Homo-oligomer: A and B are copies of this chain.
Amino acid sequence: MTVSIKDVARQAGVSIASVSRVISGKPGVGSATEARIRKIMEDLNYRPNLGARGLVKQQTGNIAIIVPRGSFTLNNPFFSTVIDGIAKGIDQSDYNIVMSFSSAQQKKLLENKSVDGIILFSPRSEEFRLEWLENLGLPTVVIGSYIDDSPFPCVRPSDTDGIDQAVHALYERGHRHIGLVNEPMSSMHSVKCWEGYHQALQRLHLGPGSNDMLELNEFDVNASDRSVAAFFRSRPTMTGIVCASDYLAIGIMRIAATMGLSIPEDLSVIGADDVPIASLLTPALSSVQVDLPGIGQEATRMLIDLLTGKHVDSKNLVFPMTYIDRETTRNTEH
């Protein structure tokens, strides 16, 4: 049924070696026979079997995108926006993207020689063991904050500085009691956000803040309505909230609304990453902008460089963040 290189060879009255040569554009075949072979390939609608080729060339042409299971949701705009950037980066190449969604399948995917390299969204500490990843022997690029001394190159936002900026923005607008809504600290990203928050409060002489961080149990704030409400209610003087992501901020806005708090009148809110919908919300979400598609694109470039043996210069690529003032923040008197 499926037409192979043999069929072409037979039809053209040549050996499979010659056919293979014209396919891969290698020299050593007369222009007359070449033309004949091409014609036959066309007629027979021949397509190379990439699996077979991969078998001999020891490469698959596939790149795995691994997103931590659980925080996953393409609906989390952080992922979808970065992946859009990956898509752009990969367009230039011949690689395809392979994804698995359960962690059992992800393991299989990586172990069974189905991919040439990995783009790894910073896993939580309990997810993949570093040793296990190294053992894979696959070129890997990490997106997002990750263990500082990991052997993999890493592309990420300057989370710490970003959150720092957000706190400062609120301070400049008169806020003195500022909280942080954070994801579980098992993620390195959360740790970095905490550091930025803490560092800003220190500099502004606003205290350590240990008491004003809400650490969610889940990565999805929508699963935590009650604890969020309790957090707000027990801190009546708190006028400003910084969130570790826009996704979180959107959830916070929703919960605040159900509590009768209006934004920004009663509460100023700042997100992080500035995902596309942030500016589409009403009120538009103030956030700390970073070039998320750029991160995806750069990570892809680095991985492809790794894959093609090019020298990879920068081991850590940190994208700057800059505060964007929109409608969820306003001045307050203290």
Which residue numbers of A lie inside 8 Å of B, CB to CB?
A: 1-2, 47-52, 54-55, 58, 60, 62, 72-75, 77, 79-81, 83-84, 87-88, 90-91, 94, 96-102, 105, 108-109, 111-114, 137, 250-251, 253-254, 257, 263, 275-277, 279-283
Contacts and interface: CB of A to CB of B under 8 A. Distances in A.
Copies in the assembly, this chain: 2
Nearest to A114: B50
A275 B47 CA distance: 40
A109 B99 CA distance: 15
A52 B49 CA distance: 12
Best-surrounded residue of A1, A96, A277 (most CB of chain B within 10 A): A96
Nearest to A82: B74
A193 B58 CA distance: 49
Nearest to A60: B51
B257 A47 contact: no
Contacts of A52: 55
7 contacts: A49-B55, A50-B112, A55-B55, A72-B87, A74-B83, A75-B277, A96-B109
A96 B99 contact: yes
Contact of A280 (B2, B111, B251): B251
Contacts of A250: 277, 280
A279 B225 CA distance: 15
Given A83-B74, A91-B102, A282 B280 contact: no
B280 A253 contact: yes
B84 A47 contact: no
A121 to B, nearest CB: 13
Contact of A80 (B75, B102, B137): B75
Contacts of A101: 87-88, 90-91, 97
A105 B91 contact: yes
Nearest to A2: B113
A100 B105 contact: no
B87 A80 contact: no
Given A47-B113, A80-B80, A97 B99 contact: yes
A49 B113 contact: yes
Contacts of A114: 50-51, 96
Contact of A77 (B75, B79, B90, B137): B75
A277 B73 CA distance: 13
Nearest to A52: B55
Contacts of A111: 47
B100 A97 contact: yes
B282 A112 contact: no
A55 B94 CA distance: 21
Given A75-B277, A94-B105, 5 more contacts: A51-B113, A74-B74, A74-B80, A96-B99, A282-B282
